[in-house]
Structure 1
Amino acid sequence: MKSIGLYLLAASFFALPLQAQLTKPNATSTEQLMNSVQERNEHRAQSILHSYPIRNVGPVTMSGRVSDIAVHPDTARIFYVGFGSAGIFKTTNGGATMQPVFDNQGGAMGIGDIAISNSNPNILWAGTGENNSSRSTYAGTGVYKTTDAGNMWTLMGLEGTQHIGRIIIHPENPDVVWVGSMGALYSQNEDRGIYLTTDGGQTWKKTLFVNDNTGVIDLIIHPENPDLLWAAAWERSREAWNFVESGAGSAVYHSKDGGNNWELASDGLPTGATLGRIGLSISADNPDRIYALIDNQDVRKVESNNTGNRGLLADDFRDINSKDFLSLNNEELNQFLRRNGFPTKYTAIRVKEDIRTSTYPPSALADFLGDANAELFDTEVIGAEVYKTDNGGESWEITHDIALDNVYFTYGYYFGEIRVDPSDANTLYIMGVPMLKSTDAGKNWTPIAENQRIHVDHQALWINPKDGEHLLLGNDGGLYESKDGGENFIHHNVAPVGQFYTVNVDMDTPYNIYGGLQDNGTWKGSSRSTPNREQPWERLYGGDGMHVNPHPENSDIVYVGFQYGNYVRRDLSDGSSYRITPRHEVGEDRYRYNWNTPVELSHHNPDIVYFGSQRLNRSFDEGKSWKAISPDLSYNLPNGDVPFSTITTIAESPLSFEIIWIGTDDGKVQRTTDGGATWVDVSEGLPAYRWISEVHASSHDPSTAYVSLNGYRFDEFVTYVYKTTDFGETWVSVKGNLPDDVVNIVIQDPIQPQILYAGLDHGSYISLNDGKEWHLLNNIPNVASYDMVVHPRDLELVVATHGRSMYVLDVTAFHELVPRINESTTLFSLSDMRYSSRWGAQSVDYRDPFEPNFEALFFVQESSSRKRNQPTSSFEVVIDVKQDDASLYSTTMDVQKGFNTFHWNLWNPTTNSYLEKGTYTVQITNGSTTHEQSFEIK
């Protein structure tokens, strides 16, 4: 249960012991951040993987977190959708289809805000760095501008702002722009407040700065007088172990001179340390009226009117002495134990005997019940409140007498948006877990779309200024549209923007892909899926989907769960399931479970399950019973309101059941070589206290492992990837030429040990020489790659991105290339084709003929040297197709260094027909070097 008074007290004493044990690294400077962006751009321009075939397999069913919506002022058919970690998508047909328009800018794909100019709709501004201060909110690199409706974007500065709250464009002069910046999330900095440009972004002036923990989350402008603006300042401080989401710096400010000067306008609003995020909305119908949605973190004062028998509660045991405990009624005590899910071995008689023998104190019964996920919803804070002013902010008053329960719970920092109907000053909407609507200026509230199951956690809303019934709504489930004021919605789930945390695969044919998504549960889909066309995905479980493990011998058995260690074993064949989360013994330290608690099946017996808390737990019976096989493997640092010092990654060696590695969020790497009987801390030689995002045990050598670490939760964006070949006694960096960035995953190829795969916050990379040199996968956008797996049979790499769903690529070409890496040309194995008599046929006259598509993937060391106006004979690469040494087809091809793909429709110009069944040879000639492969048409 979260009480803000205790919460702030805990935060204040927590900082002292933590500082004594943990030295925080310096946050990455703006200069370092932009150098990294330049390095990323160079990788994208020079990568040898520019033409490597990669397919996106979706899903699109659930979409992903929307951060903002910007609609063309003249037509609602054209609008732009900003996503929390997927960039910007544009539609010109009212949402029937959407195309990305902000990929590969070098900076973050996280969008804080989008603004479109009313006077010139081809001009848009995008603020990078999502403004929802969540655990997967990425730092941006400033503000970007387009003058051609999103085709090209230019960085216009403010590189150090990291998270943009709001952008306002002057209604008549698009060169005048105001930007509200939240600044860094996990560190203090001064690049926050309000910035003003009057020359289209060439120069900027900071006009409001509160302090280095307080930024500006919202801005509004008077619809008739652009000299009048209001700003919402928000003070917050986030650490890996604690989040103070309110502070004395939170307030409303007002400018009367076009944003050059600001004064407080908070009379009547809550003030002080418990004021959190604030959202603002001004009425176009009555511009003197402004609404404010605030997150009030003060303690709710509630008097109990329960005079009946309430039964025993956990709090009853916190201060009770042993004598009084032993006098409790056994029936009531048993009811308490069963009602709260204690293991059946704990009965009133057993517990009283434990208390009598001082095995543990009575307070241990209350301590046993801690659940980090439940604490998100079990709240004593006031939460969401709506205030209004009818005098332009000179004074405010609350609009409602009733409490807005269950709108924010404890995490109001994640919401904060309020919108008033432009045509009716009394109609407004507030966004939280549900979205509520009021038609009487905020006095009474009703939830929208009660007859529909639209997604929860609402982030963005556009109300059509010409039709107040027409809404565009963005939430954690994507984009929705209503034509009746929120009574009914349609879901525009057409963009593959899933935010995956994890990925796994089964051994079906074709194999299925499994993944856990941010606030969209866990899903299963065919590896042959095509977004918006075929092979829909199936939902397996709810919540924030985390680790998922299908049984390799029976894909109907799946271990699946949600945040903070809540996992079950499901049988998809009959729908049965049982909870598998390990429970500590009463009197022991409570198990601490990470937000993304790792759960793994043994390589040697899939009925053996590993489960990480601060200890490693192992089950030999599919999660029915557990035994801790380690002590606390973390630093056991003090915790705030977020579980910390937890295991984040588990790696059992594929070569030995006795060898297990683990990593923790506070920087520990430990391993055992005797199945958990003894553990060795092998963290020395690695950067201290960084989050261990992955430990990967080699499938080629039992003493070899790879480790990725990240400093994201210190705002340290530095690449840390290491390798050991002696069980962790020593570590060497395999960063190579990777740009500085946060590393989420590193794995080794199961066939070729020289090949490594790494997922960073801004791209996916492959190394062909054990980390000496890395190459960017160009055909995956500049999006965070959270997890990767190579299918052991099909040899395909599956990449789980946190923003653009799943990508799949065949890695057999990498296996063939490694032994030929110094050859000038390599043609990779060709796939056989199935002959069809329908080649060249038209089903109807207005359709193009059906033609085969033959693809040949090859690698060259250098790009073509053809110059302008030279004949085609100067091309470096010649492609010949032969049968029995007779040439059937020959062409030349301009190529770039790296992987290239030759496409051909199998048309034989010598016979004026398509190739018949038979075996054919393809030759690639590059200078004096020729390499050939054969394929068969069956």
Structure 2
Amino acid sequence: MKKLIFLFSFLFLIFEINAQISLVKNVPFSNIGPAIMSGRVVDLAVNTQNPTEFYVAYASGGLWYTNNNGTSFKAVSENAPTQNMGAIAIDWENGTIWAGTGESNSSRSSYSGIGVLKSVDNGKTWINVGLPNSQHIGRIIINKNNPDEVVVAVIGSLYTSNKQRGVYKTTDGGKTWKNTLFINENTGVIDLSVSPTNPNILFAASWERNRKAWNFDGDGEGSAIYKSTNAGETWIKITNEKSGFPTGAGVGRIGLAAFNNNVIYALLDNQYMRPEKEKKEEKGLQKDDFKKMSVEKVLNLDDDILNTYLKTNNFDKRYTAKSVKAAIKKGTVTPNDLATYLEDANYVLLNSEVIGAEVYKSVDGGKTWEKTHKDYLDGVYSSYGYYFGTIAVNKTNQNKIYIGGVPLLKSDDGGKNWTSIGKENVHSDHQALWVNSTLEGHLINGNDGGVNISYDNGENWIKNNSPAVGQFYYINVDNQKPYNVFGGLQDNGVWYGPSNYKASKRWEGSGNYPYKSIGGGDGMQVQIDSRDNNVVYAGSQFGYYYRINLKTDAYLSIHPTHQLGETPYRYNWQAPILLSPHNQDILYMGANKLLRSMDKGENFDVISNDLTTGGQKGNVPYGTLTTISESPFQFGFIYVGSDDGYINITENGGATWTRISDTLPQGLWVSRVISSQHEKDRVYITLNGYRNDDFKPYVFMSENKGVTWKNIGSKLPNYPVNVIKEDPSDENTLYLGTDNEAYVSFDKGLTWQLFSNGLPKVAVHDLVIQNDAKDLLIGTHGRSIYKANIAALQEYNDVKSASVAIFKVPSIRFSTRWGSSWSKWSQPFEPIITIPFYTSNSGEYTLEILAEDDTKLNSFVINTDKGFNYFDYNLSVKGKKNIVKLSMKDNSNKKAKNGVFYLSKGKYFIKIGDIKKPFEVK
């Protein structure tokens, strides 16, 4: 264990050194939101002595702190080596923060962690105190009588077997750890609950689960409840066939809530199938009816009944009772095809009639259990119980309990009866809940849309969404001035807003938030018609897209379906779309085949065979296309990549295809393929091994359309890669996003420079460049969107041999408001221009502001780093002679109200060393 901690610390030190020597470490990034839809909360830690003070852990957005009841939040994990959170615990008396990294929800976007982090200075600095291979952590418990004694629930890796699972305990503040409960390499511990009256009594919920890219198995023999009576030193399994609690292969995730030493509640995701007689009764024809139906019986079906079936199950509108019966008569369609038409993997998952959520109670310390309710808790879990698991009890009233799933439910009678307490301003997916046992009705809820607070037991909720913690999958920009930014988010739909957005609560006065929602579900890719910025293509998971006109609200649903009689299309969770750069009427869409519409999504043709390995049997669509790129040099010259590692190329619009990935690492997710805009035969690709628990960076380029490949990712740290982009101006400059960082290369990937100014360690899912503004936009999966101007970077290869280079400074418009304020109670408005410059060496430099005749108007001694530097200049003038001279030039320009004299209208120079650069005040 000590060797692993040392190795991690050593690697982190290397990364920090790389950040310090990076040429672009000073490039300033600003967050441009949005914040209103927030992001997924995984844990809450509330100061019971002062509940207006609490911490919120976001799945991939880091740790945030408030001491004013959520009115505002402060990020406390900016300096942490990861923003991926699983569980938190606070030693309030000593101010120590414990963070278990790696979300435990086991979803498609549950990022792995790097162990347990600890801070003793309110998050200013962090140390990794162990369990570096734990990957996902479910709960942390601090012994209230000994803050150095900490117990951690480790669920372990998501996609592969590993030994660092179970319960771990430290008695020396994290210096050493002991694995006190280990079940097997596929079973970890998802939850812990301690008796409020006795810290020696702990309950642990083990969970056997195994996720693959094509399948999720969220139950197993290893799922059970354990008990410790010696503060987690030893454990006894307390759920067995005689206990009353379900056992065996169908036991899924378990959430725990201890009321005292004897009373304990458990929320179970019961994955056993419902008895046939208890399955929901469905009216009309059902899918499975056609698996046994003869041709004659189908032909004799009433047309209205058959049409109802087709419409209810969203068959393509071309299929009617008349057309289906005609096809069956010809023998081109069989009755069974009317069933298999619906049977993609996601349909099977969503329509599995499992028992679902159940609540159990023990009053004898876990020896025996009894289900609290008679009926099924329909609609709480559906078939997604692995994503939830929250249960809470009021510590002063054992009959007041709460459970979280898709709704948030409460019971006032120990779980016999339930009512929903979710409201219109509360996200529907609930992940964490804190119950105030001393103030009746006070609840703090963490969900997929942030934090909500109630003081009347859920009748009304306050929304506390100031942190920008959006989980973007994809972003794009239009060509308006100022341009807009569009993006699709995990579980929070598709939004767009102005690129000049700055966080402010001013919108609450007008009721008009700058970003607007244009779609729900899990937001995915976005394309904007370059001829009309109002025409937008966007959508949600598994290929459900739409075309919307933002001006007229005209709407077209887009979800191409296969021909009846064929195998259903397989759409990825993030099914790719692309408007052709040659004709914006042409829309490409990726399933397992490439589809093309020539009429803005109205109709589609299939222009390929299956371009994947063919998929695998499971409950998640797999063997799907993930990325599309069409060469700007030639219409129909297209690359596609798949989730199972295939990359294919066509140069004739899909008439023929060639696989070009056989010499690359196999079986990896193709996260991006980019056809070069500088050289026709050049192509870049990134592969992602995250779904194999493979964290190596895979980045390749080819100069001959994929005949041979060059590895350009070997010097990157071990984080999976999500995206690569070419600079539109300089063919040597590339931008890259990984699961933890963003980079730029000025030499086609031979070396990489780390961005870090304003950017925390967060997953970068997408990058886009707005060509006119010369802005780089970063879509993060946990911290919304960041922006930086890259005009200076685009000139690097022209100035890299110079000792000093000053880059263009945009002109600024003069204002008589400079130095004044609205009243004596407000701060004066002061102009700022940012001066970007490059130095070949670190050191002390003098920056001068000169008039046209070289009169020195101001000067500054600044410390610079090798590489890009930025200096904010407030346009002030110093020296009586200079002030008099400028006043004579422009009599209207006088000393400002704040006592500062500013530059008047005119042309000026910036000088560093022997280099001068003009700028203008208009």
**Same fold, judged at TM 0.5 (above):** yes
Percent of matched pairs sharing the same residue: 44
Deviation at 1:243, TM superposition (A): 0.6
Aligned residue in 1 for 2:274: 300
Pair 1:470-2:448 in alignment: no
Secondary structure of residue in 1 paired with 2:838: strand
2:345–2:618 contact (8 Å) kept in structure 1: no
* Aligned residue number for residue 116 of structure 1: 90
Classify the secondary structure of the residue corresponding to 1:215.
Answer: strand
Q: Structure 2 counterpart of 1:834, which letter? A: R
**Equivalents in 2 of 1:249, 1:461: separation in Å?**
26
Residues 840-851 of structure 1 mapped to structure 2, 5 A cutoff: 840-851=819-830
- RMSD of the TM alignment (CA)? 1.9
Residue of 65, 72, 92 corresponding to 2:67: 92
* Corresponding position: 1:705 with 2:679: no
CA displacement, residues 117-170 of structure 1 (integer Å, 9 cap, x when unaligned)? 25x240221100111111111111111112233332221111111111111000
In the superposition, relative to structure 1, how do residues 136 and 144 fare at CA in structure 2: closer, same or farther (>3 Å)? same
In the TM superposition, residue 203 of structure 1 has moved relative to its aligned partner by 1.0
> Structure 1 residues 328, 33: closer, same or farther in 2, change over 3 A?
farther
**Structure 2 runs not aligned, ≥5 long:** 508-512, 884-900
Q: Equivalences for 1:238-637 in 2 at 5 Å?
A: 238-266=211-239, 267-283=243-259, 286-303=260-277, 310-370=283-343, 374-375=347-348, 377-450=350-423, 452-533=424-505, 536-637=514-615
Q: How does 1:751-830 map to 2 (within 5 A)?
A: 751-778=729-756, 779-830=758-809
* SS class of match (1:560): strand
Q: Which residues in structure 2 correspond to 1:886-897 (within 5 Å)?
A: 886-897=855-866
> What are the ranges of 5 or more consecutive residues in structure 1 without an aligned counterpart?
1-28, 865-874
- 1:105: which partner in 2? 80
Q: State the partner residue of 1:214.
A: 187
Cα separation, 1, equivalents of 2:768 and 2:354: 42
Shift of residue 847, structure 1, vs aligned partner: 3.4
Deviation at 1:858, TM superposition (A): 0.8
Partner in structure 2 of residue 176 of structure 1 = 149
For residues 445 and 847 of structure 1, the distance between their equivalents in structure 2, rounded to whole angstroms, comes to 52
In the other structure, the counterpart of 1:936 is: 920
How much does 1:38 deviate? Answer: 4.3
SS, match of residue 451 in structure 2? strand
Distance 2:749 2:707 in 1: 19
Instruction: State the distance in 1 between where 2:873 and 2:5 align.
Output: 48
Tell me the alpha carbon deviations over residues 862-921 of structure 1, each in whole angstroms, 9 at most, x when there is no partner. 211xxxxxxxxxx34443434222222222211122221122222221234321111001
Matches within 5 A, 1:37-56: 37-56=12-31
Residue pair 1:744, 1:761 contacting (<8 A) in 2 also? yes
Cα distance in 1 between the residues matched to 2:38 and 2:246:
36
Greater shift in the superposed pair: 756-765 or 891-900:
891-900
Is the partner of 2:297 in helix, strand or coil?
A: helix
In the alignment, which of 850, 857, 872 is matched to residue 903 of structure 1? 872
Segment of structure 1 superposing worse, 58-67 or 825-834: 825-834
What amino acid does structure 1 have at the position aligned with 2:841? E
Aligned partners of 2:459, 2:349: CA distance in 1, in Å?
A: 29
Q: Give the conservation status (yes or no) of the 8 Å contact 1:73–1:121.
A: no
Q: CA offsets, 1:387-417, max 9 Å, x none?
A: 0001111111000001100100111011001
Preserved CA contact (<8 Å) 2:51 2:69: yes
- Partner residue of 2:906 out of 912, 918, 924: 918
Q: In the alignment, is residue 685 of structure 1 matched against residue 658 of structure 2?
A: no
1:131-170 aligned within 5 A: 131-170=104-143
* 1:765 alignment partner, SS class: strand
**In the alignment, what sits opposite 1:7?**
none
Is residue 2:636 matched to residue 1:663? Answer: no
Kept after mapping to 1: 8 A contact 2:227/2:235: yes
TM-superposed deviation, 1:105:
2.2
Whether the 8 Å CA contact 1:882–1:922 is kept in 2: the answer is: no
Q: Report the secondary structure of 1:507's partner residue.
A: coil
TM-score w.r.t. the length of structure 1 is: 0.92
Residue 81 of structure 1 corresponds to which residue in structure 2?
56
Q: How many angstroms apart in 2 are the aligned matches of 1:177 and 1:33?
A: 21
The one-letter code of the counterpart of 1:147 is V
* Corresponding letter in the other structure for 1:506: D
- Distance change >3 Å, CA 837–CA 809, structure 1 → 2: same
The letter of the residue matching 1:130 is E
Counterpart-to-counterpart distance in 2, 1:859 and 1:842: 35
8 Å CA contact 2:87–2:139 kept in 1: the answer is yes
Equivalent pair of 1:39/1:739 in contact (CA under 8 Å): no
Give the Cα–Cα distance (whole angstroms) in 1 for the partners of residues 309 and 200 of structure 2. 62
Q: Are the aligned partners of 2:857 and 2:878 in contact in 1 as well (CA < 8 Å)?
A: yes
Question: Which deviates more from structure 2 when the two are superposed, residues 797-806 or residues 531-540?
Answer: 531-540
CA distance in 1, matches of 2:64, 2:280: 52
1:234 equivalent in structure 2: 207
Asked whether the equivalents of residues 9 and 128 of structure 2 are also in contact (C-alpha less than 8 Å), the reply is: no
CA contact (8 A) 2:448 2:491 kept: yes
Residues 462-471 or 599-608, more deviating: 462-471
Corresponding residue SS for 1:254:
strand
Question: Aligned partner of 1:499: which letter?
Answer: Q
Question: What is the Cα deviation at residue 39 of structure 1?
Answer: 4.1
Whether the aligned pair in 2 keeps the contact of 1:817 and 1:826 (CA below 8 Å) is no
Amino acid at match of 2:170: T
Task: Answer whether contact 1:34 1:159 (CA < 8 A) is retained.
Answer: no
Distance in 1, matches of 2:298 and 2:51, equals: 67
Contact 1:54 1:809 in 2 (8 A): yes
Q: Residues 103 and 137 of structure 2 are in contact (CA less than 8 Å); yes or no, is this contact kept in structure 1?
A: yes
Native 8 Å contact 2:835 2:872 kept in 1 = yes
User: d(CA) in 1 for partners of 2:488 and 2:394?
Assistant: 37
* 1:764-785 alpha-carbon deviations (Å, 9 max, x no partner): 1111111111111102110000
C-alpha separation between the residues in 2 aligned to 1:886 and 1:621?
63
CA distance in 1, matches of 2:631, 2:462: 48
- The alpha-carbon distance between structure 1 residues 861 and 415, as it changes in their structure 2 partners (threshold 3 A), is same
In 2, distance between residues paired with 1:503 and 1:305?
A: 42
The answer on 1:654 being equivalent to 2:628 is: no
**Residue in 1 that maps onto 2:852:** 883
**Residue 190 of structure 1 pairs with residue 163 of structure 2:** yes
* CA contact 1:879–1:893 (8 Å) conserved in 2: no
Stretch deviating more after TM superposition (785-794 or 248-257): 785-794
On the 8 A contact 2:80/2:125 being kept in 1, the answer is no
Answer with 158-167 or 148-157: which moved more: 148-157
Contact 2:5 2:129 in 1 (8 A): no
Deviation (angstroms), 1:373: 5.1
1:174 is displaced (CA, Å) by 0.3
Please state whether the residue corresponding to 2:333 is helix, strand or coil.
Answer: coil
How far, CA to CA, are the matches of 2:198 and 2:283 in structure 1? 58
Report if aligned partners of 1:763, 1:777 keep a CA contact under 8 Å in 2.
yes
Alpha-carbon distance between aligned partners in 2 of 1:376 and 1:817, rounded to the nearest angstrom:
51
Q: For each residue in 1:451-487, what CA deviation from the matched residue of structure 2 results, as whole angstroms up to 9, or x when unmatched?
A: x341111001111232131111100000111111111
Report the Cα distance in structure 2 between the residues aligned to 1:896 and 1:655, rounded to whole angstroms.
40
Aligned to 2:893: none
Report how far residue 374 of structure 1 moved.
5.0
Number of residue-to-residue matches in the alignment: 890
TM-score (norm 2): 0.94
